[in-house]
Structure 1
Amino acid sequence: MMCSPWKMSSLILAFLALSFLNDRVPAVRAQADISAASPVKYNFVVKNTTFTKFCEARTILTVNDMYPGPEIRVKKGQTVLVNVQNDAAYGVTIHWHGVKQPRNPWSDGPENITQCLIQPGKNFTQEVIFSDEIGTVWWHAHSDWTRATVHGAIVVEPPPDELSDSPLRFPNYTLVFSTWFNQDLKEISDIIVLNGTNTAEAAGYTLNGFPGDQVTCDNVSEPTYNITVKRGETYVLHIVNAAMHEGHFFQVGMNNGTFDNSTDPASYNLDDPPEMNTAVVYGSGWTAVRFFANNPGVWFFHCHFESHVSWGMATALIVKDGPNLDQKLKPPPAGMPSCGA
């Protein structure tokens, strides 16, 4: 997947709908094994867990029995090894969203693009290489609709000598917005692929796994997520929209109507285009983006409506090796998931 200005994760090619812990606690962080030798190590166990949301009990796919999944905190420039153990009933992959993964597409995670599925009962240790990222990115499953429940935040902290100038010197909280379905997500995916129609309707949205206080069951409100702050203090919020698929590129222009190659490029902002997380292409409209192809590999460029991907709204961008060692792909790791039956 292409992520960052150099590696695009996705492009939403139509109107973007926001579709893509039962205890009242802050976003829970995964426990890391941090040694002087680095890299940082995490264990993810993908498994079914039952939660009650919007007045219904539903068994969903989770990581470490959590919805949303565990938060990862790393320092800028660190490498992380995540051992993903799949205890679910069907194959999954995990994508590290917004992480550039220089020269390392092997652990990027899009299903059947850079790796095959991690099959039930199997595991795969993914090497997640952080370079100049800082701030908030996220991880999520990247196979069918599994990302709706298998996702979590990644907070990349500055090194100690940069902390005093960073907003992260203030108290900070992570907020993960998610979509909750009272339908079985695997069944939804199968119906879409079979019929080419998307009839799924979300029951509502959650914040760190909690619905809003307007949700009542038998006249009793479901618990909500709250943050207590002090007047006059400064806080940092790490906000992840786990329903969107983020891609880092620079949007230089967009408009309604048919693109005219003879006139529209004159309107491009090539001086300081905003770095966008997501680009929306309106019906009968267009969007122009640009990126710097300095990360070798094969990257997935696609609409993020899962049904649209199944219809063929996807392609692969191939970035070839450059002449220098730091411009060439790393070799694939041992133990990659098998693509055989």
Structure 2
Amino acid sequence: MASLDKTFQRLTFLFLGFLGFFSFSAEAATKQYQFDIQVKNVSRLCHAKPIVTVNGRFPGPTIYVREGDRVLVNVTNHAKYNMSIHWHGLKQYRNGWADGPAYITQCPIQTGSSYTYDFNVTGQRGTLWWHAHILWLRATVYGAIVIMPKQGTPFPFPQPYGETEIILGEWWNVDVEEVVKKGNNMGLPPNTSDAHTINGKPGPLFPCSEKHTFAMEVEQGKTYLLRIINAALNDELFFAIAGHNLTVVEVDAVYTKPFTTQSILIAPGQTTNVLVQAYQAPGRYFMAARPFMDVPLAVDNKTATAILQYRGIPNTVLPLLAQLPASNDSAFALSYNKKLRSLNSPRFPANVPLKVDRKLFYTVGFGKDSCPTCVNGTRLVASLNNISFEMPHIGLLQAHYFNIKGVFRTDFPDRPPTPFNYTGAPLTASLGTLTGTRLSKIAFNSTVELVLQDTNLLTVESHPFHLHGYNFFVVGTDIGNFNPSKDPAKFNLVDPVERNTVGVPTGGWTAIRFRADNPGVWFMHCHLELHTGWGLKTAFVVEDGPGSDQTVLPPPKDLPPC
């Protein structure tokens, strides 16, 4: 852990894949990291295939930094796909050039090219993660970011004896990009994943996977910190450990009021830190993860498992099974999320905006569009306020910074053009979905309240929304239609949970608040990759402030061209 005691860290990523490779090496002021460049074949569920990886590793390497560090990540792409990397949850103040979403803050890194992400870690500590932000490549291109507090700053909870990262993911037995292409040609959702994984491994409940099981060894009587990340593309997941309670102490790199639960719910993009006390009888206990799905949609519903193993217990001892909520347990999901509260201590206050300058109301909907080239003659689309986002061909931040005309419009509506009974009887047709690259312009330092409302257009479904460049406070959530005359009175404006990715419940709504103090172009999208691909996304153009330190920084010289 000597690499944590630094003021500067240099990291290098090289991407490897089907026709090439990725590599990762790191160099810090106090320690040098070396990683081999290699083509990686990975075997899961009796299948071996080459996948796009970082350093030939799946999941990719963990980045360890300390609050206040500067980080440089040099990415060289030798995969056959264009590439970009998003540092999920890092605020990137004035520095959208390092944020990573392809065609939003940068053009992708083309095969054979490099780009250096250069950013500071300011005012954040905890667990975040990095992942590919183009196509569906984050299926295998992801890893953890661990931000330690400044030297001499303790955790606001008991110091754990040890810690580990637990990354939940999905696995396809074939090239996931070919799966997506086939679904698009049909005008249907792509096939679901073949398995879920814990740290890249499905666990012993799958055939041929005895050696593909992650195991964590613990000592009886000790307390451990698990840094849990949901890197799955399309599934919210329950997670539990047989015989052990979980004490939640942090979400999305923000400390929370601790509470104890038998299971957690974690959406794609979210992180959750929990304390686990190894106080049970020495043995082997299953960790388990499986999807939460409260509507009848196709999903890989298989359970991934790993093992919590007490020191000295032989591998021949059968693990105890973990008890997870039912896959459709909406009551648990709603109750669990309402237990999340900001710590709101003198050292870690919850600075909730009490006065709102701009109120936004966005509806989430699905529809079908004509598609003459699709086998079915139609294709599925998703929209916010009836607008399905069309990706540009150059980076939106570049177009904004250099005032390039015709790339996007800033007339995204503050509310839906056609109000209706959003969660009433199912509607089988769209409301005439529009497509376009339409953004919302936000005044610098203004306070924003955004209500995200699920609708019953084609189907209701839960949606985890991620806002780039910001944290926000989740001031309210419930089932049914949002009532602007009654529901705000029930908002929590004292200690609401602060995070960067929030779930909108099935057939319900979620309200968030944030201060627009980070100038630039910031993506907001559903973190279900399926829905993002259908257009469930938009972006905010946050204007520059009056001060010299309140404007977007100039772009780096090696910004990738389109």
What is the TM-score of this pair, normalised by structure 1? 0.83
**Structure 1 range deviating more: 71-80 or 238-247:** 238-247
DSSP-derived class of the 2:153 partner: helix
CA offset at residue 166 of structure 1?
A: 6.9
Q: Of 542, 545, 548, which residue of structure 2 is paired with 1:319?
A: 542
CA offset at residue 108 of structure 1?
A: 0.2
Describe the shift of the 1:193–1:249 C-alpha distance in structure 2 as closer, same or farther (beyond 3 A): farther
1:305 paired with 2:528, answer yes
> 1:245-282: per-residue Cα shift (whole Å, max 9, x none)?
24442211122222222222222222221124532223
Aligned position for 2:212: 223
Aligned position for 2:230: 241
DSSP-derived class of the 2:217 partner: coil
Aligned position for 1:71: 62
Distance 2:8 2:217 in 1: 34
Larger RCO, structures 1/2 (Cα 8 Å, 6+ apart):
1
CA offset at residue 294 of structure 1?
A: 0.9
Q: Write out aligned runs for 1:36-185 (5 A).
A: 38-48=7-17, 49-163=40-154, 170-185=161-176
DSSP-derived class of the 1:235 partner: strand
Distance 1:285 1:140 in 2: 29
Aligned position for 1:284: 507
In structure 1, stretches of 5+ residues that fail to align are 1-28
Distance 1:183 1:226 in 2: 26
Q: Of 256, 269, 280, which residue of structure 1 is paired with 2:492?
A: 269
Question: What code does the residue aligned with 1:111 have?
Answer: A
8 Å CA contact 2:183, 2:191 repeated in 1? no
8 Å CA contact 1:197, 1:307 repeated in 2? no
> 1:158-189: per-residue Cα shift (whole Å, max 9, x none)?
22222486766632211111111113111123
DSSP-derived class of the 1:238 partner: strand
Distance 2:485 2:187 in 1: 36
Question: What code does the residue aligned with 1:315 have?
Answer: T
Matched-pair identity in %: 43
Aligned position for 2:197: 206
Distance 2:79 2:114 in 1: 11
**Structure 1 range deviating more: 268-277 or 74-83:** 268-277
Aligned position for 1:3: none
DSSP-derived class of the 2:489 partner: helix
Question: What code does the residue aligned with 1:269 have?
Answer: N
Aligned position for 1:5: none
Distance 1:260 1:188 in 2: 41
Distance 2:217 2:501 in 1: 31
Distance 1:54 1:187 in 2: 19
Question: What code does the residue aligned with 1:321 have?
Answer: D
8 Å CA contact 2:80, 2:111 repeated in 1? yes
CA offset at residue 35 of structure 1?
A: 10
Aligned position for 2:480: 257
8 Å CA contact 2:160, 2:223 repeated in 1? no
Describe the shift of the 1:221–1:314 C-alpha distance in structure 2 as closer, same or farther (beyond 3 A): same
Distance 1:127 1:78 in 2: 11
Distance 1:337 1:164 in 2: 39
Distance 2:109 2:72 in 1: 16
CA offset at residue 204 of structure 1?
A: 1.4
Distance 1:167 1:107 in 2: 34
Distance 1:170 1:327 in 2: 42
Distance 2:151 2:12 in 1: 26
Distance 1:311 1:237 in 2: 34
Aligned positions, number:
306
- Which structure has the bigger radius of gyration? 2
8 Å CA contact 1:303, 1:314 repeated in 2? yes
Distance 1:235 1:148 in 2: 28
> 1:87-130: per-residue Cα shift (whole Å, max 9, x none)?
10010100001111111000100110000110000010011321
Distance 2:535 2:130 in 1: 24
8 Å CA contact 1:193, 1:310 repeated in 2? no
CA offset at residue 316 of structure 1?
A: 0.8
Distance 1:270 1:35 in 2: 37
8 Å CA contact 1:157, 1:168 repeated in 2? no
Question: What code does the residue aligned with 2:269 have?
Answer: H
Distance 1:297 1:213 in 2: 47
Distance 2:59 2:496 in 1: 33
Aligned position for 2:311: none
Question: What code does the residue aligned with 1:47 have?
Answer: L
1:294 paired with 2:517, answer yes
- Please give the root-mean-square deviation of Cα atoms over the aligned residues, in Å: 2.3
Aligned position for 2:279: none
8 Å CA contact 1:196, 1:307 repeated in 2? no
CA offset at residue 152 of structure 1?
A: 0.2
In structure 2, stretches of 5+ residues that fail to align are 18-39, 233-267, 271-465
**Structure 1 range deviating more: 146-155 or 326-335:** 326-335
Describe the shift of the 1:227–1:284 C-alpha distance in structure 2 as closer, same or farther (beyond 3 A): closer
8 Å CA contact 1:215, 1:222 repeated in 2? no
